[in-house]
Amino acid sequence: MTYRETIEERILSLINETREFFIVAYNKKSQQLLLSIKRLEYIRAWKRIKQIQTEDIIINAIVININKGGLLVAVEGLKSFIPNSHITTQEKEIIKIHQSIECKLLVADERRNQLICSNKCALLAKFANKFKIGYIVSGEVTEIKQYGLFITIHGIPALLHISEIGYKHIDNINKTFAVGNKIQVKIIHIDMKQGRLSVSTRDMS
Protein backbone atom coordinates (compact mmCIF):
# COMPACT_ATOMS: atom_id res chain seq x y z
CA MET A 1 0.00 0.00 0.00
CA THR A 2 1.38 3.41 -0.99
CA TYR A 3 1.61 6.43 1.33
CA ARG A 4 -1.19 8.17 -0.63
CA GLU A 5 -3.45 5.14 -0.36
CA THR A 6 -2.79 5.02 3.39
CA ILE A 7 -3.77 8.69 3.78
CA GLU A 8 -6.90 8.22 1.67
CA GLU A 9 -7.90 5.21 3.74
CA ARG A 10 -7.43 7.20 6.93
CA ILE A 11 -9.53 10.08 5.58
CA LEU A 12 -12.34 7.68 4.59
CA SER A 13 -12.31 6.20 8.10
CA LEU A 14 -12.99 9.70 9.51
CA ILE A 15 -16.10 10.32 7.41
CA ASN A 16 -19.16 10.90 9.63
CA GLU A 17 -16.94 11.13 12.70
CA THR A 18 -17.71 14.04 15.01
CA ARG A 19 -14.84 15.95 16.60
CA GLU A 20 -13.75 19.45 17.56
CA PHE A 21 -11.46 21.72 15.53
CA PHE A 22 -9.77 25.07 16.01
CA ILE A 23 -10.81 27.70 13.43
CA VAL A 24 -7.61 29.17 12.00
CA ALA A 25 -9.18 31.39 9.32
CA TYR A 26 -12.38 32.07 7.35
CA ASN A 27 -12.46 32.89 3.66
CA LYS A 28 -15.50 35.09 3.07
CA LYS A 29 -15.22 34.81 -0.70
CA SER A 30 -15.36 31.03 -0.83
CA GLN A 31 -17.17 30.78 2.51
CA GLN A 32 -14.69 28.17 3.65
CA LEU A 33 -13.12 27.59 7.05
CA LEU A 34 -9.48 26.67 7.62
CA LEU A 35 -9.46 24.22 10.53
CA SER A 36 -6.69 22.73 12.64
CA ILE A 37 -6.61 19.71 14.94
CA LYS A 38 -3.01 20.30 16.03
CA ARG A 39 -3.71 23.85 17.13
CA LEU A 40 -6.63 22.69 19.27
CA GLU A 41 -4.48 19.97 20.86
CA TYR A 42 -1.74 22.57 21.52
CA ILE A 43 -4.17 24.92 23.28
CA ARG A 44 -5.59 22.10 25.41
CA ALA A 45 -2.09 20.86 26.29
CA TRP A 46 -1.13 24.30 27.63
CA LYS A 47 -4.32 24.43 29.69
CA ARG A 48 -3.32 21.13 31.32
CA ILE A 49 0.24 22.43 31.82
CA LYS A 50 -1.06 25.51 33.63
CA GLN A 51 -3.20 23.31 35.86
CA ILE A 52 -0.18 21.11 36.66
CA GLN A 53 1.85 24.23 37.46
CA THR A 54 -0.87 25.60 39.75
CA GLU A 55 -1.23 22.29 41.61
CA ASP A 56 2.59 21.85 41.72
CA ILE A 57 2.34 18.10 41.23
CA ILE A 58 4.80 15.41 40.14
CA ILE A 59 4.34 14.29 36.53
CA ASN A 60 5.70 11.46 34.40
CA ALA A 61 7.45 12.65 31.25
CA ILE A 62 8.56 10.43 28.37
CA VAL A 63 12.20 10.73 27.28
CA ILE A 64 12.40 11.39 23.53
CA ASN A 65 16.08 12.31 23.22
CA ILE A 66 19.27 12.44 25.30
CA ASN A 67 22.03 14.98 24.64
CA LYS A 68 25.04 16.46 26.41
CA GLY A 69 22.93 19.14 28.06
CA GLY A 70 20.20 16.91 29.43
CA LEU A 71 16.97 15.19 28.44
CA LEU A 72 14.36 16.18 25.88
CA VAL A 73 11.02 14.90 27.17
CA ALA A 74 7.33 15.00 26.26
CA VAL A 75 4.89 16.53 28.75
CA GLU A 76 1.22 16.48 27.72
CA GLY A 77 2.40 16.07 24.13
CA LEU A 78 4.63 19.17 24.31
CA LYS A 79 8.43 19.14 24.16
CA SER A 80 10.19 19.96 27.43
CA PHE A 81 13.77 19.94 28.64
CA ILE A 82 15.38 18.61 31.82
CA PRO A 83 18.91 20.06 32.25
CA ASN A 84 21.66 17.76 33.53
CA SER A 85 21.81 19.86 36.69
CA HIS A 86 18.22 18.80 37.44
CA ILE A 87 18.66 15.05 36.89
CA THR A 88 19.52 12.84 39.86
CA THR A 89 22.62 10.66 39.66
CA GLN A 90 20.42 7.56 39.90
CA GLU A 91 18.39 8.54 36.83
CA LYS A 92 21.49 9.52 34.83
CA GLU A 93 22.79 5.97 35.15
CA ILE A 94 19.63 4.14 34.03
CA ILE A 95 17.50 6.48 31.90
CA LYS A 96 16.92 5.58 28.26
CA ILE A 97 14.84 6.89 25.36
CA HIS A 98 11.09 6.04 25.59
CA GLN A 99 11.31 5.57 29.36
CA SER A 100 9.32 7.74 31.74
CA ILE A 101 10.95 10.00 34.30
CA GLU A 102 9.35 11.75 37.26
CA CYS A 103 9.68 15.52 37.24
CA LYS A 104 8.15 18.82 38.31
CA LEU A 105 7.68 21.96 36.24
CA LEU A 106 10.31 24.68 36.70
CA VAL A 107 9.40 26.97 33.80
CA ALA A 108 6.14 27.02 31.82
CA ASP A 109 6.14 29.95 29.39
CA GLU A 110 3.39 29.58 26.80
CA ARG A 111 4.34 32.80 25.01
CA ARG A 112 7.83 31.47 24.31
CA ASN A 113 6.62 27.87 24.05
CA GLN A 114 9.19 26.98 26.71
CA LEU A 115 8.94 24.13 29.20
CA ILE A 116 11.71 23.21 31.64
CA CYS A 117 11.37 20.43 34.22
CA SER A 118 13.33 19.05 37.17
CA ASN A 119 13.76 15.43 38.21
CA LYS A 120 15.55 16.48 41.41
CA CYS A 121 12.66 18.66 42.56
CA ALA A 122 10.27 15.75 41.98
CA LEU A 123 12.43 13.47 44.12
CA LEU A 124 12.65 16.08 46.89
CA ALA A 125 8.88 16.41 46.89
CA LYS A 126 8.32 12.65 46.70
CA PHE A 127 10.53 11.94 49.71
CA ALA A 128 9.67 15.12 51.61
CA ASN A 129 9.39 13.07 54.82
CA LYS A 130 13.11 12.19 54.53
CA PHE A 131 14.29 15.72 53.73
CA LYS A 132 13.49 18.07 56.58
CA ILE A 133 15.62 20.76 58.18
CA GLY A 134 17.32 19.35 61.25
CA TYR A 135 17.21 15.71 60.07
CA ILE A 136 20.44 13.73 60.38
CA VAL A 137 21.00 11.59 57.27
CA SER A 138 23.72 9.47 55.67
CA GLY A 139 25.30 10.42 52.36
CA GLU A 140 28.19 9.56 50.07
CA VAL A 141 30.92 12.00 49.08
CA THR A 142 30.81 12.33 45.30
CA GLU A 143 32.99 15.40 44.68
CA ILE A 144 35.58 17.41 46.61
CA LYS A 145 36.15 21.13 46.05
CA GLN A 146 38.29 23.66 47.89
CA TYR A 147 35.14 25.23 49.34
CA GLY A 148 33.52 21.97 50.48
CA LEU A 149 32.08 18.58 49.61
CA PHE A 150 29.26 17.44 47.38
CA ILE A 151 27.37 14.58 48.96
CA THR A 152 24.63 12.46 47.41
CA ILE A 153 21.68 11.70 49.69
CA HIS A 154 18.96 9.47 48.18
CA GLY A 155 20.11 10.65 44.74
CA ILE A 156 19.93 14.34 45.66
CA PRO A 157 23.15 16.42 45.69
CA ALA A 158 23.94 18.24 48.94
CA LEU A 159 26.64 20.81 49.60
CA LEU A 160 28.66 20.49 52.78
CA HIS A 161 30.46 23.82 52.83
CA ILE A 162 33.89 23.85 54.43
CA SER A 163 32.60 26.33 57.03
CA GLU A 164 30.03 23.71 58.13
CA ILE A 165 32.56 20.89 58.65
CA GLY A 166 33.00 20.70 62.41
CA TYR A 167 34.59 23.51 64.40
CA LYS A 168 38.28 23.10 63.53
CA HIS A 169 40.04 24.79 60.62
CA ILE A 170 40.78 22.40 57.72
CA ASP A 171 44.05 23.06 55.89
CA ASN A 172 43.62 20.44 53.18
CA ILE A 173 40.14 19.06 52.62
CA ASN A 174 41.47 16.36 50.24
CA LYS A 175 43.48 14.80 53.09
CA THR A 176 40.45 14.76 55.37
CA PHE A 177 37.89 13.27 52.95
CA ALA A 178 37.86 11.02 49.89
CA VAL A 179 35.29 10.37 47.16
CA GLY A 180 33.19 7.40 48.22
CA ASN A 181 33.34 8.18 51.95
CA LYS A 182 30.05 7.65 53.78
CA ILE A 183 29.32 10.37 56.31
CA GLN A 184 26.44 11.55 58.44
CA VAL A 185 25.27 15.13 58.07
CA LYS A 186 22.45 17.38 59.23
CA ILE A 187 20.15 19.10 56.72
CA ILE A 188 20.28 22.88 57.26
CA HIS A 189 18.69 24.20 54.05
CA ILE A 190 16.34 22.83 51.37
CA ASP A 191 16.06 24.53 47.97
CA MET A 192 12.87 23.07 46.46
CA LYS A 193 13.17 25.26 43.34
CA GLN A 194 16.66 24.07 42.40
CA GLY A 195 16.42 20.59 43.93
CA ARG A 196 19.41 21.07 46.23
CA LEU A 197 20.30 20.58 49.86
CA SER A 198 22.78 22.25 52.20
CA VAL A 199 24.13 20.18 55.07
CA SER A 200 26.39 20.46 58.11
CA THR A 201 28.36 18.24 60.48
CA ARG A 202 27.94 20.74 63.31
CA ASP A 203 25.52 20.27 66.22
CA MET A 204 24.80 16.65 65.28
CA SER A 205 23.41 15.69 68.68
Residues 132 and 121 in one domain: no
Q: What confidence category does residue 16 fall into, taking pLDDT thresholds of 50, 70 and 90?
A: low
- Encode pLDDT of 140-153 as tens digits: 998 889 888 999 88
Residues 121 and 137 in one domain: no
Residues 79 and 110 in one domain: yes
Residues 160 and 121 in one domain: no
Residue 3 confidence (pLDDT): 46
- What are the DSSP calls for 153-193, one per residue? ETTEEEEEEGGGS-SS--S-HHHH--TT-EEEEEEEEEETT
Q: What confidence category does residue 70 fall into, taking pLDDT thresholds of 50, 70 and 90?
A: very high
Q: What confidence category does residue 9 fall into, taking pLDDT thresholds of 50, 70 and 90?
A: low
Give the separation between CA 204 and CA 28, rounded to whole angstroms: 76
Structural domain for 195, as ranges:
128-200
* Alpha-carbon distances, residue 102 vs 31, 54, 132, 180 (angstroms): 48, 17, 21, 27
Whether residue 160 lies inside any domain: the answer is: yes
- Of 109, 125, 141, the one marking the end of a domain is 125
Whether residue 61 lies inside any domain: the answer is: yes
Strand 78-83 relative to strand 100-109: parallel, antiparallel, unpaired? unpaired
Residues 147 and 172 in one domain: yes
pLDDT above 90 coverage of the chain, percent:
35
Residue 102 confidence (pLDDT): 93
Q: What is the pTM of this model?
A: 0.69
Whether residue 66 lies inside any domain: the answer is: yes
- Of 72, 100, 125, the one marking the end of a domain is 125
Residues 121 and 166 in one domain: no
Which neighbouring-strand residues pair with 140?
A: 152, 182
Residues 171 and 146 in one domain: yes
Q: What is the CATH number of the domain that holds 173?
A: 2.40.50.140
Give the separation between CA 66 and CA 166, rounded to whole angstroms: 40
Whether residue 98 lies inside any domain: the answer is: yes
Domain count, the chain: 2
